[in-house]
Amino acid sequence: MKKTILGLMLASLSAPTLADVEFLHWWTSQGEIKSLDVLEKQLLKHDIPLQHSPILGGGGDTAMTVLQARALAGNTPDVAQIEGPSIKAWDAVGIVHSVNETGIKHNWDNNLYPLSVAINKTDTGYVALPITLHRLNWMWVNHQLLAQLELDVPKTWPEMFTAMEKAKQANIIPLAIGEEAWQVATLFESLVIAAGGVDFYYKSLVELKSNHIDSDQMRFALKQLRKISNLIDTQQPNQNWDTATKALASNQALFQLGGDWILGDLMASDINVPQQIGCYPAPQSHNAFLYNMDSFIFMAAPDFTQQQANQVADILADKAFQAEFNRVKGSIPVRTDIDLSGFNPCQVKSHNDFEEAVKNQLAIPSMTDSMAVNPVAQQAINSEIFRYYRNAEVTEEEMLRRIISIAQST
Ligand code: GAL
């Protein structure tokens, strides 16, 4: 009898039951919503309803602005999607719960990729829950249109331009791309890698070294971007990335360049990948693996205690959930102990390419997608790249001057 009462007393000391968990994120496309269903089901298994706070805007810039505003107002969500160096910046502010108890319980030191440990762990332990590993330098190809145009899959940018010009002549959209700064900037990253290789990309766009920004390779990459902007009519103003994916999937567009969240949307639309739409490294990728990773931070607040954060983090660290979430999202797991049988062949290729790239120091963080520099510099550079793409009056020299001044101000 005593034991039962003691047991009840101890149970009442555990985390007070959560009415629900408010999650702020920018996952609003068809594929992203399907992966959120996996997340919702996982929490419901533990009787915790998910309260969505979706913020429109792929890439997450707007979501981060909203999170900052809510933190300043003292009205943080319980959990927020986040990427890269911002994680440690939020931790330093002191309004983020530790996730270290979960990291120890799930042995993250030994079963996460070292890149993921580095992003999510400070010298006081884990401060964020790692959830996805996306590859950005993918080229998605509509095989039906490629065959109709009697083209092979381009491996170089000259071949890419030939294919895009032939598509345009046939009234096919050469490259599906949304008119958003982060999308154009992500495209530009692949052009920089093609122009100067991985080391040049790292020194110019991650380390922001002025003498690498002010270079022939960067001028060449800008010329290539201008060529693309001249090819793509701006009939897709303010198109989101997923409406671009719909154009690719519905045989209106020949190519799309972008992260494998595109795979998540293609699978959500029952498009057969890689048969109908194939996945290939962006032209002249030099075997690079340009990546970003999503994580969750748990915001400290009176109505979301450390104990409750530990409870939710433990549920979302579950291996089977992490596997299923990534399978649906189009990404690959950040845990190294997950079997990829049942994943799409493009995800298996991504995993194999990532492991190879890590071995050869060719896995590089995406600057434009929040994995490399502070968000102010990132967004400033992205918007300069977008302005150059949209306005033929902007010269390369003006672009380089502006990017160097942003780099020097970080
Ligand atoms: C990235 C994020 C992906 C996907 C993409 C498009 O920043 O890591 O999970 O959401 O934006 O919105």
Q: pLDDT for 392-405, tens place per residue?
A: 999 999 999 999 99
Closest protein CA for atom 12 of ligand 1: 58
Name the more confident of 4 and 396.
Answer: 396
Tokens of residue 176, six digits: 């599906």
- Please tell me the total number of residues recorded for the chain in this structure: 410
Beta carbon of 325 within 6 Å of any ligand 1 atom: no
Q: Which of 119, 168, 173 is nearest to 365 (CA)?
A: 119
Residue 313 tokens, joined: 């983090």
**Is there a contact between 136 and 290 (Cβ–Cβ < 8 Å)?**
yes
Distances (CA, A) of 162 to 73, 150, 156, 166, 345: 53, 12, 10, 6, 28
The SS3 assignment for 232 reads coil
What's domain 138-290+364-409's superfamily in CATH? Periplasmic binding protein-like II (3.40.190.10)
Give the helix/strand (H/E) hosting 81: strand 79-82
pLDDT tens digits along 204-243: 999 999 999 999 999 999 999 999 999 987 556 557 899 9
Instruction: List the residue whose alpha carbon is closest to atom 2 of ligand 1.
Output: 59
Render 364-381 in DSSP notation, one character per residue. Answer: EE-TTTTSSS-HHHHHHH
Mean pLDDT in residue range 172-190: 93
Three-state DSSP class for residue 179? coil
Model confidence pLDDT, tens digit, residues 16-32: 678 899 999 999 999 99
178 pLDDT above the threshold of 90: no
Q: What is the mean pLDDT of the chain?
A: 94
Could you read off the pLDDT of 309-321 as tens digits, one per residue?
A: 999 999 999 999 9
- Distance from C-alpha of 204 to C-alpha of 404, rounded to nearest angstrom: 10
Question: Is 70 exceeded by the pLDDT of residue 10?
Answer: no
User: Domain 2-134+291-349, CATH 3.30.70.360 — does that match?
Assistant: no
Ligand 1 neighbourhood includes 130 CB (under 6 angstroms): no
Reported pTM? 0.94
Which ranges of 98-156 would DSSP assign to H, the alpha helix?
Answer: 100-105, 108-111, 114-120, 143-148
Residue-level pLDDT at 239: 77
Instruction: Supply the pLDDT for residue 95.
Output: 95
CB of 261 closer than 6 angstroms to any ligand 1 atom: yes
Atom in ligand 1 nearest the alpha carbon of residue 83: 8
The model's pLDDT over 266-300, given as tens digits with 9 standing for 90+, comes to 999 999 999 999 999 999 998 999 999 999 999 99
Q: How far apart are the first and last CA of the chain?
A: 65
Mean pLDDT, residues 187-193: 98
Instruction: Take atom 10 of ligand 1 and give the residue whose Cα is closest.
Output: 27
The answer, yes or no, to whether residue 1 has pLDDT greater than 50, is: no
Sign of the CA dihedral 390, 395, 396, 400? negative
Residue 327: pLDDT band (50, 70, 90) is very high
Q: Do the domains spanning 2-134+291-349 and 138-290+364-409 agree at the CATH topology level?
A: yes
Distance between Cα 91 and ligand 1 center (Å): 21
Backbone φ and ψ of 154, nearest 5°:
-70, 140
pLDDT in tens, 56-82: 988 888 999 999 999 999 999 999 999
Q: For the chain, what are the domain ranges?
A: 2-134+291-349, 138-290+364-409
pLDDT at residue number 313? 98
Instruction: Verify whether ligand 1 is closer than 6 Å to residue 60 (CB atom).
Output: yes
d(CA 370, CA 385): 15
Residue 408, class by beta-carbon neighbours within 10 Å (0-12 exposed, 13-18 middle, 19+ buried)? exposed
Give the alpha-carbon dihedral of 384, 138, 66, 116, to 10 degrees: -110
What integer pLDDT is reported at residue 59 of this predicted model?
A: 86
Q: In percent, how much of the chain has pLDDT > 70?
A: 95
- Residue 407 neighbours by CB under 8 Å, 6+ apart: 208, 209, 210, 213, 377, 381
Provide the pLDDT for residue 410.
82
Q: What pLDDT score does 318 carry? A: 98
Mutate to test the pocket of ligand 1, among 23, 24, 25, 26 (most ligand atoms within 8 A of CB): 26
Cβ 294 under 6 angstroms from ligand 1: yes
Query: Quick check: 257 and 187 in contact, CB under 8 A?
Result: yes
pLDDT bracket for residue 9 (50, 70, 90): low
- Minimal-distance CA residue to ligand 1 atom 7: 59
- Alpha carbon separation from 354 to 2, 244, 281, 363 (Å, rounded): 56, 26, 12, 7
Q: One-letter amino acid identity for 11? A: A
